[in-house]
Amino acid sequence: MGIFIVLEGIDGAGKSTQAKLLAKWFEKRGYEVVLTKEPTDTAFGKLIRRLVLTGGREGIIDGAKISHEAEALLFAADRAEHVKKLIEPSLKAGKVVISDRYFYSSLAYQWARGLDLEWLINLNKFAIRPELVILLDLPVKESMKRINGRKLKSEFDKIAELQKKVRENYLKLVEMFPEMKIVNALASIEDVHNDIVALVEHEILSKKE
């Protein structure tokens, strides 16, 4: 069996940056790495990007809002494809799978939308659990500075408010899921990378030897 690691955190926390660095770190040590993300690049992921993520995660189809439940089902459908077609086969082949967002994103974001946490967990029962989930945690103010250029001014306040709730939810999830570990994402890119590597060594590699 391979190794399954997930990076989580609000927009601008550094997930994509750190996922790439961690992938390189494993590759240098001779591991075969699959660097992946959610939403995926498959048909469902593309649908999510088109219907849900444009417009600041507002869930709009043809000018009408879609229900948060339908949104959660779309994310779960994309995840089911991701798990069955990429994650499980890659782990069976002994590879290291690093995913930029996963199940925990659905919990943090859809819970912030007011959906029932237990319902969300049950909906995602098929999603195999990673060995390690790195939560890149930082204040919303700092994350908004980092992603400033990505968003329209009119969306800014609305997004900041959602991000704040999502950050709080992530921190609550850490109490519920022992595989989740917090890393201070305010530090430099290099320091954050070193903290992640230390966790990987301590939580995964030392236990496999």
Q: Is 84 exposed, middle or buried (0-12, 13-18, 19+ CB in 10 A)?
A: exposed
In the bound state with Mg ion, the residue whose beta carbon lies nearer, of 16 and 194, is 16
Asked if residue 11 belongs to a known ligand binding site, the reply is: yes
Asked if residue 12 belongs to a known ligand binding site, the reply is: yes
Structure tokens at 47: 């649908």
In the bound state with Mg ion, the residue whose beta carbon lies nearer, of 90 and 99, is 99
Cα 111 to Cα 44: distance, rounded to the nearest angstrom:
21
Beta strands 60-61 and 33-37 are unpaired
In the bound state with ligand ADP, the residue whose beta carbon lies nearer, of 12 and 39, is 12
Query: How many chain residues interact with Mg ion (CB under 5 A)?
Result: 2
Asked if residue 10 belongs to a known ligand binding site, the reply is: yes
In the bound state with Mg ion, the residue whose beta carbon lies nearer, of 15 and 167, is 15
Closest approach of ligand ADP to the CB of residue 122, in Å = 27
Asked if residue 149 belongs to a known ligand binding site, the reply is: no
Question: Binding residues for ligand ADP, per CB under 6 A?
Answer: 9, 11-17, 146, 188-189, 192
Residue 42 makes contact with Mg ion by CB under 5 A: no
**Cα-flanking dihedrals φ and ψ of residue 185, to 5°?**
-85, 0
How many CB atoms are closer than 10 A to CB 66? 16
Question: Of 128, 87, 109, which Cα lies nearest the Cα of 173?
Answer: 109
Closest approach of ligand ADP to the CB of residue 149, in Å = 8
| Bridge partners, 182 (sequence order) | 135
Residues tagged in the binding site annotation: 9-16
Residues tagged in the binding site annotation for ATP: 9-16
